[in-house]
Amino acid sequence: MHIAAFKSSVAPKDIASVS
């Protein structure tokens, strides 16, 4: 998963939205 890359760009709460 490339979510790790997003984690560096956006906040953890944003990750939940992306997921």
Task: Please report, in tens digits, the pLDDT of each residue of the chain (19 residues total).
Answer: 566 666 666 667 766 666 5
| Residue 12 and residue 3 in contact, taking contact as beta carbons nearer than 8 Å | no
Tokens representing residue 4 in the block? 């790790």
Residues 3 and 18: beta-carbon distance below 8 Å: yes
What counts of helices (H) and strands (E) characterise the chain? 2, 0
Quote the pLDDT of residue 15.
Answer: 63
What pLDDT score does 13 carry? 72
